[in-house]
Structure 1
Amino acid sequence: MAFSRHTEDNLWTLIAAPTVWAFHFLLSYVVAAVECAPNSDIFEPIGGTRLLVAGITVIALVAIGFVLWRSIREWRYHGGGYRHNEDTDLDRERFLEFSTVLLAALSFVGVIFVAMPALTIWDCR
């Protein structure tokens, strides 16, 4: 029984990176809201919250990076290219792989932009 390093892509692999981005967005802003919502001292540093958001960000970037690396590897294995206009299983596979590459890259940048406010703002002002 031979094992292949290549897998078939489907809609689950396509939405994996945007889902991680969405959960990162949700967790980052919930953590910040829990810290800043009491509004008792808006000038108090939020160092612990910033570290937690940084940790969540690193985990999200690693997960999205894995999806991106895997989809690039699969896309290149099938020849790369940008034209997927045939009605074949291979063209559908290549289309899903390239779409996953684009969505994962967008999600990677999105996670960085979501984390920027929490990592650059020192208090709840």
Structure 2
Amino acid sequence: MSDEREKGLAGRVRERRVTLWTLIVPPTVWAVHFMFCYLWVAVSCAKLASFARFPVAFAAGTLVALAIIVASGVVAFLQSRTPGDPPPHDESTGVDRTRFLATATLLLAGLSVVGVLFTAAPALMLTDCR
């Protein structure tokens, strides 16, 4: 039963319409996370006069950003595996457009995960606001 449920979920995800909105989700989440981290450090240094070493809100914001980006990547991965002709997806068909946008979204999701991790990394290493 669970195998049928997984196939049904993957089939529904593959059938979802891919738009440019799905393409911009990962980099937008990365940008929002970057701004959150920047403001968190600025407020911590201004109010506490010391760098708050990886506080709970910072960790929670990082985990939420990673979860959203990974979920977007999983959806893109399932959509990029839509059955059809092999790459390159350069025909003017709906399936090729879907697979092209899904592949681009998957690549942007990978880049965004790296960006979020590199944005969060200084919080692990820095201890001073100077």
Matches of 2:55 and 2:86, distance apart in 1: 41
Aligned alpha-carbon RMSD (Å): 2.3
Q: Match of 1:107?
A: 112
Equivalent positions of 1:12-23 (< 5 A) are: 12-23=21-32
Residue 5 (structure 1) aligned to one of 12, 19, 33? 12
1:58 paired with 2:69, answer no
Structure 1 segment 24-103 matched on structure 2, within 5 A: 24-37=33-46, 41=49, 44=50, 46-47=52-53, 50-79=55-84, 81-103=86-108
CA distance 1:96–1:68, shift in 2 (3 Å): same
2:33 & 2:59 partners in 1: Cα distance? 11
Aligned mates of 1:98, 1:21 — CA distance in 2:
18
Aligned amino acid, residue 12 of structure 2? R
TM-score of the superposed pair, with normalisation by structure 2: 0.81
More helix by share: 2
CA contact (8 A) 2:82 2:95 kept: no
**Identical counterparts, % of pairs:** 42
Q: Which runs of 4+ in 1 moved over 6 A?
A: none
> Which one has more relative contact order, counting CA pairs under 8 Å at least 6 apart?
1
Give per-residue Cα distances to partners, 1:61-82, cap 9 Å, x unaligned: 0110100111101111335854
Unaligned runs of 5+ in 1: none
| Alpha-carbon distance in 1 for matches of 2:87, 2:106 | 12
